[in-house]
């Protein structure tokens, strides 16, 4: 029989809060983390907002650990991992963990440090190249710091699938536990706000208010949406095999039930809005979960406020769910957080896991003028109910779509 993989810890560092409780409190209260960007100068651009994390103190979270060697990306990763360890109630005494591994999604996590390192030695000369910046310019170092810090010896890896990255990491972590490569895997994602990326998205007219005269708002599935708002953050979910979690009396948020991914070349060329790739990813996820569309209670949508992608996601959801859509709740948490690419999927997973446990679905803020081309059952208010299953969708610009299905486990605590 296939091993059951459960979620036993959540760690979040996000624009709407640091730590699981702060994150959730903002989500259910519809509190947005989108604000004027302070980390770089936006004065020459018409887009000025981002999901920036302003109340984050890595020194406090990583109490007593030397963080001098970490860049911001690594600070976010290590902090999210530490919060996850604490939430899971793990005794982490500093000993090496040969059967615990780390898998993160990151697409742009190293780009800024790489670019800065490169620009510095090119303009100031060879001797201006710093060993610390060089180490951090290498993508894997984003997570390597966390593996060294927490003694994670099973493996240390990054997955890049853009917005779908962390779902890819979650699936790989699930698979690695099933293949006995680890007992426990910290799966997550990270992205950082920086000028290089922001400017590129801005110039490509992909940000809200990139084009003059449009409101700078993150409004997934709303008629007024006109682009995404970039964000930063990191989140971790701790995955364990069911028996392993039961043996230590772990708190269980839910179970990984299914996953699917697909690539849609037509989406990549932005020619059609059929959402073939995402529809296939959702079907694969449902099949591997052995569930029918009518058995899904909640869809935590990719909904990034992109004019094109939101419409594609709607048509894919409608194609897969058909009449079952009447009984599904849908929400888009990016309405409050913004688009943090590789960290998005795992933040959606954290949201879904807590939603199932609390019977509350967060609102989609700014959803006031529904786009008639979308027509999903969204709400600008939080919704209550009894929910057993959730689906997380991600849809990257590149054409890589992924979908994850999780389920609530009965009871708050597993009994060994």
Partner 1 sequence: MFDRRVVITGIGVLSPIGIGKEAFWQALIEGKNGIRPVTAFDTSDYPCHYGGQVWDFDPNHYLSPQAAARMGEASQFAVTSAKMALDDAGIEGRLDPERTGVALGSTNCEVRVIEKLGEIWNREGYEQTDPEFIAKYPPQLIPANVAIELEVEGPVVIMPNACAAGNWAIGCAFDLIRTGDVDVMFAGGSDPISRSAYVGFSRTFAMAQEFCQPFDKNRKGMMVSEGAAVLVLENLDNARRRGARIYAEITGYGLSCDAYHITGPHPEGKGAVRAMETALASSGLSIDDVNYISAHGTGTKANDKVETLAIKSVFGQRAKQIPVSSIKSMIGHTMGAASALEAAASALALSEGIIPPTINYSEPDPDCDLDYVPNVAREHRVEAVLSNSFAFGGNCSVLALRKWR
- Kindly tell me which of 31 and 124 has the beta carbon lying closer to partner 1: 124
Q: How many CA atoms lie within 13 A of 212 on its CB side?
A: 1
Question: Minimum Å distance from CB 319 to partner 1?
Answer: 16
Rounded to an integer, what distance in angstroms lies between the CA atom of residue 299 and that of residue 293?
Answer: 11
- Kindly tell me which of 82 and 97 has the beta carbon lying closer to partner 1: 97
- Kindly tell me which of 90 and 336 has the beta carbon lying closer to partner 1: 90
Q: CB 350: neighbour CB atoms within 10 A?
A: 28
In angstroms, what CA-CA distances link 232 with 23, 49, 65, 174, 261? Answer: 14, 12, 23, 25, 24
For 310-330, b/e burial (b = at least 16 CB within 10 A) is bbbbbbbbebbbeeebeebbb
Question: Minimum Å distance from CB 276 to partner 1?
Answer: 8
Rounded to an integer, what distance in angstroms lies between the CA atom of residue 209 and that of residue 217?
Answer: 8
In angstroms, what CA-CA distances link 122 with 3, 89, 128, 203? Answer: 52, 47, 9, 25
- Kindly tell me which of 310 and 397 has the beta carbon lying closer to partner 1: 397
DSSP-derived letter for residue 393 is: E
Residue 250's nearest CA partner among 394, 404, 111, 416 is: 416
Q: First-to-last CA distance in the chain?
A: 19
- Kindly tell me which of 15 and 173 has the beta carbon lying closer to partner 1: 173
- Kindly tell me which of 162 and 275 has the beta carbon lying closer to partner 1: 162
Question: Minimum Å distance from CB 345 to partner 1?
Answer: 13
Rounded to an integer, what distance in angstroms lies between the CA atom of residue 403 and that of residue 329?
Answer: 16
- Kindly tell me which of 22 and 195 has the beta carbon lying closer to partner 1: 195
Rounded to an integer, what distance in angstroms lies between the CA atom of residue 405 and that of residue 345?
Answer: 12
Question: Minimum Å distance from CB 290 to partner 1?
Answer: 15
- Kindly tell me which of 111 and 364 has the beta carbon lying closer to partner 1: 111
Question: Minimum Å distance from CB 408 to partner 1?
Answer: 26
For 208-240, b/e burial (b = at least 16 CB within 10 A) is bbbeeebebbbbbbbeebbbbbbbbbbbbbbbb
- Kindly tell me which of 113 and 364 has the beta carbon lying closer to partner 1: 113
Question: Minimum Å distance from CB 132 to partner 1?
Answer: 10
- Kindly tell me which of 243 and 381 has the beta carbon lying closer to partner 1: 243
Question: Minimum Å distance from CB 68 to partner 1?
Answer: 12
Residue 82's nearest CA partner among 155, 136, 9 is: 9
Question: Minimum Å distance from CB 223 to partner 1?
Answer: 26
Question: Minimum Å distance from CB 389 to partner 1?
Answer: 22
Rounded to an integer, what distance in angstroms lies between the CA atom of residue 186 and that of residue 270?
Answer: 34
Task: Identify the sign of the CA torsion 192, 197, 199, 205.
Answer: negative
Apex 304 CA angle, 300 and 310, nearest 5:
85
Question: Minimum Å distance from CB 271 to partner 1?
Answer: 12
Question: Minimum Å distance from CB 378 to partner 1?
Answer: 27
């Amino acid at each position: 029989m296939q091993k059951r993989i459960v979620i036993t810890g959540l760690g979040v560092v996000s624009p709407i809060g640091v730590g699981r409780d702060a994150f959730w409190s903002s989500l259910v209260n519809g509190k947005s983390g989108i604000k004027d960007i302070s980390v770089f100068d936006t004065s020459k651009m018409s887009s000025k907002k981002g999901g920036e994390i302003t109340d984050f103190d890595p020194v406090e979270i990583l109490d007593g650990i030397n963080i001098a060697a970490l860049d911001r990306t690594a600070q976010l990763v290590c902090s999210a991992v530490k919060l996850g360890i604490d939430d899971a109630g793990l005794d982490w005494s500093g000993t090496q963990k040969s059967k615990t591994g780390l898998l993160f999604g990151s697409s742009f996590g190293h780009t800024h440090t790489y670019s800065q390192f490169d620009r510095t030695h090119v303009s100031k000369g060879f001797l201006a190249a710093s060993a610390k910046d060089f180490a951090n310019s290498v993508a894997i170092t984003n997570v390597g710091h966390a593996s060294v810090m927490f003694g994670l010896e099973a493996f240390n890896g990054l997955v890049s699938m853009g917005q779908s990255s962390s779902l890819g990491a979650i699936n790989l972590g699930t698979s690695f536990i099933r293949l006995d490569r680890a007992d426990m895997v910290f799966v997550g994602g990270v992205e950082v706000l920086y000028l290089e990326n922001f400017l590129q998205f801005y110039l490509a007219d992909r940000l809200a208010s990139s084009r003059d005269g449009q409101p700078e708002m993150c409004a997934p599935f709303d008629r007024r949406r006109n682009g995404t708002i970039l964000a930063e953050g990191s989140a971790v979910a701790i995955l364990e095999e069911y028996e392993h979690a039961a043996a230590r009396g772990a708190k269980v948020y839910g179970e990984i039930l299914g996953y699917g991914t697909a690539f849609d070349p037509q989406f990549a060329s932005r020619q059609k809005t059929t959402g073939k790739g995402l529809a296939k990813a959702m079907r694969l996820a449902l099949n591997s979960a052995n569930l029918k569309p009518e058995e899904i209670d909640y869809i935590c949508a990719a909904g990034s406020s992109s004019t094109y992608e939101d419409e594609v996601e709607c048509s894919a959801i409608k194609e897969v769910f058909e009449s079952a859509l009447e009984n599904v709740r849908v929400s888009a948490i990016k309405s409050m957080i913004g688009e943090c690419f590789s960290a998005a999927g795992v933040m959606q997973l954290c949201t879904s896991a807590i939603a199932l446990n609390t019977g509350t679905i967060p609102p989609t803020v700014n959803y006031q003028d529904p786009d008639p081309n979308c027509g999903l059952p969204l709400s600008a208010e939080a919704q209550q109910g009894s929910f057993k299953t959730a689906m997380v969708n991600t849809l990257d610009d590149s054409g890589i779509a992924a979908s994850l299905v999780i389920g609530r486990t009965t009871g708050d605590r597993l009994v060994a």
